[in-house]
Amino acid sequence: MKIYTRTGDKGMTGLFGGTRVSKSAVRLHAYGTLDELNACIGLVTSDKETPKQLKGQLIEIQSLLFTIGADLATPLSSKANILRTDPLYAEKFERWIDAMDEHLEPLTRFILPGGNRIGALLHQARTVCRRAERWMVQLREDEPITEGAIIVVNRLSDYLFTAARYANKTLGAEESAVEIPRG
């Protein structure tokens, strides 16, 4: 199978189920940003400094991102047989977050993205995750999508924030922070 099809040369692409849409459609921004997130996470999993526990979780997340992307690439009205996003993944992320939090100082200040390379890359992934979530919310305003997808991606950004803090702590990097402004 060739990687190029030439079917998108005029700015249109096919969704699962056969519908063709503009490559500038909100739906494509949503699942395209998830693809970008997956690549960001790939940078973390490919680094030999990444803590083993995180690497296993992140590889599982990468697979999940393909499921969410396929879900978003398939309108709910489509007859295509694909797996929809299970909101129970949010609970799994909560368990992972709670386990990492046991090793972290309580948050009392805004954490600046950074620390070591792994922590900084996880913070970058978190910001891409938040952008994907915003596109998903915009898509939901235009047409119905699997509600579990937004829930899972929202919790994933919390996981990535905590994973960045955990990686920094595990790898001995100092977190920089600023005080939370008070009125």
pLDDT digits (tens, 9 = 90+) for 121-165: 999 999 999 999 999 999 999 999 998 999 999 999 999 999 999
181 within some domain: no
Q: Indicate whether 52 belongs to any domain.
A: yes
Stated pTM of the model? 0.92
Structural domain includes residue 94? yes
What one-character DSSP code corresponds to residue 14?
A: E
- Please give the DSSP secondary-structure letter assigned to residue 74: S
In this prediction, residues 15-41 reach a mean pLDDT of: 88
Rounded to the nearest integer, the mean pLDDT of the chain is 92
21 has a pLDDT exceeding 90: no
Q: Does the residue 119 lie in any domain?
A: yes
- CA distance linking residue 69 with residue 178, whole number of Å: 35
Domain that holds residue 109: 21-171
Does residue 180 belong to any structural domain of this protein?
A: no
Residues 6+ apart with CB under 8 A from 92: none
Which residues, other chains included, contact 177 with Cβ-Cβ below 8 Å and sequence gap of 6+? 109, 110, 111, 112
Determine whether 76 is exposed, middle or buried from the number of CB atoms within 10 Å of its CB (0-12, 13-18, 19+).
exposed
* Helix orientation angle between 117-142 and 26-45, rounded to the nearest 10 degrees: 160
Helix (H, G, I), strand (E, B) or coil at 111: strand
Assign residue 36 the CATH number of its domain: 1.20.1200.10
User: Does residue 37 lie within any of the structural domains?
Assistant: yes
Specify if 8 maps to a domain: no
Quick check: is 48 in a domain? yes
How many independent structural domains does the chain possess? Answer: 1
Query: Is residue 163 within 8 Å of residue 103, measured between CB atoms?
Result: no
